[in-house]
Amino acid sequence: MNEHTNLSLAQMDQMSLFHPVTSISDLQKNGPSIYTAAEGVTITRDTGATLLDMGAGLWCVNVGYGRKELVQAGAEAMQQLSFQHFFGGASAEPTIRLADRLLGLFRDTVPGSDMARVFFGNSGSDANDTAVKLVNYYNNLRGKPAKKKIIAREGAYHGLTLASGSLTGIKSYHTAFDMPLDNVLHTSCPHYFAFGKDGESEAAYTDRLITELEDMIAYEGADTIGAFIAEPVMGTGGVFLPPEGYFEKLQDVLDRHDILLIADEVITGFGRTGNWFGSGTYGLRPDIVSLAKGLTSAYFPMSASIISTRMWEVFENASDEMGVVMHGFTYSGHPVGAAIALANLDIMERENLAGRSATLGPVLLEALRTRVGDSPFVGDIRGIGLMAAVEFTGFPQGAAPHKIVARHATVAGVLTRALPYLPVTSFSPPLSVTEAEIIEAADRYARALKAA
């Protein structure tokens, strides 16, 4: 017998749910926002209010809400083979086809990449944990057991498990959780607008960051560093586009010091930057690519780690000696998730959603610039593809204008995200968004800014 049956749904939430990344006192004061339905880019609350979701959930509903094709793909897959594990060589058709398709997609859209295998998991965080473990595995098998440290960047977001949360470079996620782990180092956040010095050109700023990285590697010893992890565009940090020449120079440093590159494409994968992958947009040659979110457009929790040929050859050669690769999860390769991912990729291809993201990105930027660009508190509006940001400046110390405006925006009927690192609000609508919806969302956001 449930002792809470007399409570409203909101009260029941307050008395029973432990929300992720939520202030306990705010929830007790204000109660939850309960959503009941969604279609396309529009999401409906229990009050009946409808909002334009300019966050695509958490940067994840790339094909938009309510896609019957995905519902059907999931239902049919469940009927056919509701579960299959992949331990010990067990396998299933949708997952085999998905691995093959992801390798093909990456090969065809990221010039110079050389990827060999796909490992599946459940979330972006566990994909990055897998990446850390595979870096260790690789270097243990190569007889370089000291080469284990991972360099991440301040302002990065890579998840919140113990390993991925340590890679994350935003202090508020570490405080009170005894993170980061000792093997993780953080180098400076590459965000020219906020961290470039007066009079410093963008190219000179990039050189400063690269010199800092070289110094860090020299200080620690290249033989202790296994990998560098980077989001092609830093999302949760504040939609930080890499400064001029950054990845080209970074890749060169990593190559010279035999350091692997992990591309965290949990946000940038599947069209967000206007190409299929951010690695294609910025010319990365990663050894491990972490994917999640847009892989299934969040219709099923699933992640993928694409592994390079140079790593795979080491794994393969050492296999007889090492025996079973003792890594994996119950739901690794879940056939229902794989069937949904395949149907999701069908939609992305048929509707050319990566191309749409490239075309509509400038529309989103223009809509924001013309509506909120002249506010004295808006310092920068930037983006690539359908990931954009408004960065606030010039406000009194201690204020959080991006949070206040985001609250007003909810009332005005648009969902945006006020980010936790710098005073930035992000816009990352489903890639199926229309031009009219972008304009309407920008109008609503401008009204919210005025009201705040």
Of 227, 250, 266, 345, the one binding ligand PLP by CB under 6 A? 266
CA distance 242 to 322: 39
Please identify the residue of the shown chain whose CB is closest to the bound ligand PLP.
Answer: 124
As given in the structure block, the two tokens for residue 89 are 């060589």
Q: Checking DSSP bridges between strand 225-230 and strand 149-153, what pairing results, if any?
A: parallel
CA distance 50 to 299: 21
Nearest distance, CB of residue 15 and ligand PLP, angstroms: 26
Task: Count residues near ligand PLP (CB under 6 A).
Answer: 15
Nearest distance, CB of residue 219 and ligand PLP, angstroms: 27
Nearest distance, CB of residue 443 and ligand PLP, angstroms: 27
Q: Where are the beta strands (DSSP E) in 180-301?
A: 184-187, 225-230, 260-264, 288-291
For ligand PLP, the closer of residues 147 and 417 by Cβ is 417
Nearest distance, CB of residue 149 and ligand PLP, angstroms: 19
264 binds ligand PLP (CB under 6 A): yes
Question: Does residue 377 sit in helix, strand or coil?
Answer: coil
344 binds ligand PLP (CB under 6 A): no
Question: Does residue 195 sit in helix, strand or coil?
Answer: helix
Closest by CA position to 433, among listed 374, 325, 357:
357
Binding segment for ligand PLP among 27-35, 155-163, 254-262, 370-378 (CB under 6 A)? Answer: 155-163
Of 157, 228, 240, 445, the one binding ligand PLP by CB under 6 A? 157
**String marking each residue 209-238 x if it binds ligand PLP according to CB under 6 A:** ----------------------x---xx--
Question: Does residue 51 sit in helix, strand or coil?
Answer: strand
Please check whether residue 382 is in contact with residue 239, taking contact to mean a CB–CB distance below 8 angstroms.
yes
Nearest distance, CB of residue 58 and ligand PLP, angstroms: 5
Of 10, 12, 27, 58, the one binding ligand PLP by CB under 6 A? 58
Closest by CA position to 58, among listed 449, 387, 433:
387
158 binds ligand PLP (CB under 6 A): yes
Kindly identify the residues of this chain, within the stretch 118-147, that bind ligand PLP according to CB under 6 A: 123-125, 128
Provide DSSP, 120-156: EESSHHHHHHHHHHHHHHHHHHTT-TT--EEEEETT-
For ligand PLP, the closer of residues 60 and 364 by Cβ is 60
- DSSP letter at 87 equals G
Kindly identify the residues of this chain, within the stretch 282-311, that bind ligand PLP according to CB under 6 A: 292
For ligand PLP, the closer of residues 367 and 422 by Cβ is 422
Question: Does residue 24 sit in helix, strand or coil?
Answer: helix
As given in the structure block, the two tokens for residue 427 are 């816009």
**Residues near ligand PLP, by CB under 6 A:** 58, 123-125, 128, 157-159, 231, 235-236, 264, 266-267, 292
